[in-house]
């Protein structure tokens, strides 16, 4: 009887001891930091992601470190329990744990000016302490990408954010000469391509595929530097860009800012092709065949008053259905022409779209900063050689956000794009 009572008492004490055993404390976050370098000036940037407000200006190449009050169970850490996402989806990142820290290292840079969410869930401490799920938001430095008209018809885009890479990954840079970067129109450092007016050149391979389309739109931002003048005080002309010169297309600013044009090769019904200029005289001249509008800005300083030493948005577009080409600068119509007015006997009356008629590769390189690429030049005159000839009207200034579409922009489309991209 005494033995039974003792056993019962022992069992009761054991149960009491087990029931009184303290559960491990919950795992708690003590700090979240994102460390990287600013794309604008290369300075070190460390952002607190665990503050009372959502962090801003987080470095694009940031690595995120989460610190806890005790060690984290490694088996609870994965890309499922630790993730960063935006409206575009989850960010691909390597996630690792060591001691009381978790490190999140994205495989590619974050997107500029974009809101991200860091989510932590299902974590455990080494001592099996639980964790209350949490999330933190942050925004990266820079200006967010814009939504453009005909985004599904945009065939190429160069943003020049510290790189000459083409954003859709359809085209590759084949050659760079004396490339540097400067502030863009928003004042963001290393965000616009800078041309020295002598040697700077960027060549894009296999660019003939930009043509061979019925409808076409070219959009870009430039800040033309008018500091190169001759003895008469006249600014030299500038070849802003070119694909085999007028055997593809090229945009040119005339000497002393006397006008500008897009020279383009067009496909004619029956298999022929012909070159024609979309030329803005800037003085209201309608004396040329097919010209329907030429904005007269002569009283306001001409073209120099519009684009010299200031950022300007240029859009050139062609509509194959209406056979009308138009040029807009800063959202305003500057020039239009109608191939229907050429008359049925003229080749341009039968225009069906754009056509590349230059040399084969590597002659089909799009050149930023000159009228054509440096290899296999179709125009062999000395003035059209970009190499070793600094006085050959190379572009001088800044260039940014070059976009090409296989679509024809209306005036409303141009306004939408200009308003989205203007500072």
**pLDDT tens per residue across span 39-90:** 999 999 999 999 999 999 999 999 999 999 999 999 999 999 999 999 999 9
Distance between CA 251 and CA 294 in Å, rounded? 17
- DSSP run (H or E) holding 332: strand 332-338
Structure tokens at 250: 């090229």
DSSP3 helix / strand / coil % (the chain, rounded to 5):
15, 40, 45
Structure tokens at 224: 């033309």
Pick the closest to residue 352 from 325, 319, 376, 381 (CA basis): 319
Give residue 390's pLDDT band: very low, low, confident or very high (50, 70, 90).
Answer: confident
Above 90 in pLDDT, residue 388? Answer: no
Structure tokens at 158: 């160069």
Query: Is the distance from CB of 186 to CB of 421 less than 8 angstroms?
Result: no
Tell me: the pLDDT tens digits for 212-227? 999 999 999 999 999 9
Above 50 in pLDDT, residue 290? Answer: yes
Q: What is the pTM of this model?
A: 0.89
Give residue 94's pLDDT band: very low, low, confident or very high (50, 70, 90).
Answer: very high
Q: What is the pLDDT of residue 2?
A: 45
Q: What's the whole-number average pLDDT of the chain?
A: 94
Give residue 4's pLDDT band: very low, low, confident or very high (50, 70, 90).
Answer: very low
Q: How many CB atoms lie within 10 A of CB 55?
A: 20
SS3 102: strand
Above 50 in pLDDT, residue 268? Answer: yes
Rounding to the nearest 10 degrees, give the CA dihedral for residues 105, 111, 117, 122: -30
Above 60 in pLDDT, residue 14? Answer: no
Q: What is the pLDDT of residue 210?
A: 98
Q: What is the DSSP string of 120-174?
A: E-S--BTT---B--EEEEEEESSPPPPP-TTGGGEEEEE--SSS---TTSS--EE
Residue with structure tokens 């925004």? Answer: 139
Give residue 234's pLDDT band: very low, low, confident or very high (50, 70, 90).
Answer: confident
Structure tokens at 65: 């470190």
Pick the closest to residue 92 from 106, 112, 75 (CA basis): 106
Above 50 in pLDDT, residue 3? Answer: no
What average pLDDT does range 375-394 have in this prediction? 93
Q: What is the pLDDT of residue 193?
A: 98
Torsional class of 158: left (φ above 0), alpha (ψ -120 to 50), beta (otherwise): beta
Q: What is the pLDDT of residue 12?
A: 47
Tell me: the pLDDT tens digits for 301-355? 999 999 999 999 999 999 999 999 999 999 999 999 999 999 999 999 999 999 9
Query: Is the distance from CB of 336 to CB of 220 less than 8 angstroms?
Result: no
Q: What is the pLDDT of residue 21?
A: 56
* Burial class (CB within 10 angstroms; exposed 0-12, middle 13-18, buried 19+) of 305: middle
Q: What is the pLDDT of residue 1?
A: 46
Give how far Cα 359 sits from Cα of 206, 252, 269, Å: 11, 21, 21
Query: Is the distance from CB of 248 to CB of 242 less than 8 angstroms?
Result: yes
Distance between CA 60 and CA 143 in Å, rounded? 12
Q: How many CB atoms lie within 10 A of CB 98?
A: 11
Above 60 in pLDDT, residue 20? Answer: no
Above 70 in pLDDT, residue 159? Answer: yes
For 232, half-sphere exposure in the C-beta direction (CA atoms, 13 angstrom radius) is 5
Pick the closest to residue 309 from 227, 224, 236, 239 (CA basis): 224
Domains of the chain with CATH codes? 29-140 (2.60.40.1220), 151-421 (2.60.120.200)
Instruction: Specify the DSSP class assigned to residue 390.
Output: T
Percent of the chain with pLDDT over 90: 91
């Amino acid at each position: 009887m005494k033995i039974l009572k003792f056993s019962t008492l022992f069992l009761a004490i054991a149960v009491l001891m087990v029931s009184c055993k303290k559960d491990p404390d919950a795992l708690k976050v003590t700090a979240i930091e994102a460390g990287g370098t600013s794309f604008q000036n290369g300075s070190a940037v460390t952002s607190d992601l665990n503050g009372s407000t959502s962090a801003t200006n987080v470095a694009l190449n940031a690595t995120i470190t989460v610190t806890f009050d005790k060690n984290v169970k490694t088996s609870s850490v994965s890309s499922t329990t630790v993730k960063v996402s935006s409206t575009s989806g989850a960010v691909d990142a390597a996630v690792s744990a060591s001691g009381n820290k978790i490190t999140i290292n994205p495989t590619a840079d974050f997107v500029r000016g974009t809101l991200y969410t860091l989510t932590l869930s299902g974590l455990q401490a080494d001592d099996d302490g639980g964790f209350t799920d949490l999330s933190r938001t942050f925004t990266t430095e820079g200006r967010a990408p814009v939504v453009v008209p005909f985004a599904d018809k945009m065939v190429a885009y160069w943003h020049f954010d510290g790189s000459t890479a083409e954003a859709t990954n359809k085209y590759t840079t084949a050659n760079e000469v004396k490339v540097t970067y400067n502030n863009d129109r928003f004042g963001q450092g290393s965000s616009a391509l800078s041309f020295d007016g002598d040697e700077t050149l960027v060549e894009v391979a296999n660019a003939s595929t930009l043509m061979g389309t019925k409808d076409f739109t070219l959009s870009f931002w430039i800040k033309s530097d008018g500091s190169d003048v001759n003895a008469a005080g006249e600014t030299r002309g500038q070849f802003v860009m070119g694909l085999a010169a007028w055997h593809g297309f090229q945009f040119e600013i005339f000497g002393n800012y006397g006008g500008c044009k897009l020279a383009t090769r067009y496909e004619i019904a029956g298999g022929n092709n012909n070159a024609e200029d979309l030329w803005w005289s800037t003085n209201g001249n309608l004396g040329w065949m097919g010209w329907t509008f030429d904005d007269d800005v002569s009283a306001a300083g001409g073209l120099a008053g519009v684009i010299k030493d200031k950022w300007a948005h240029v859009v050139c577009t062609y509509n194959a259905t209406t056979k009308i080409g138009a040029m807009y600068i800063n959202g305003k119509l500057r020039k239009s022409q109608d191939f229907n007015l050429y008359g049925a006997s003229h080749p341009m009356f039968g225009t069906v779209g754009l056509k590349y008629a230059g040399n084969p590769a590597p002659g089909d390189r799009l050149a930023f900063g000159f009228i054509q690429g440096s290899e296999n030049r179709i125009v062999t005159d000395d003035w059209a050689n970009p190499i070793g000839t600094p006085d050959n009207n190379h572009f001088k200034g800044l260039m940014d956000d070059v976009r090409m579409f296989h679509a024809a922009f209306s005036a409303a489309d141009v306004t939408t794009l200009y308003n989205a991209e203007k500072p």
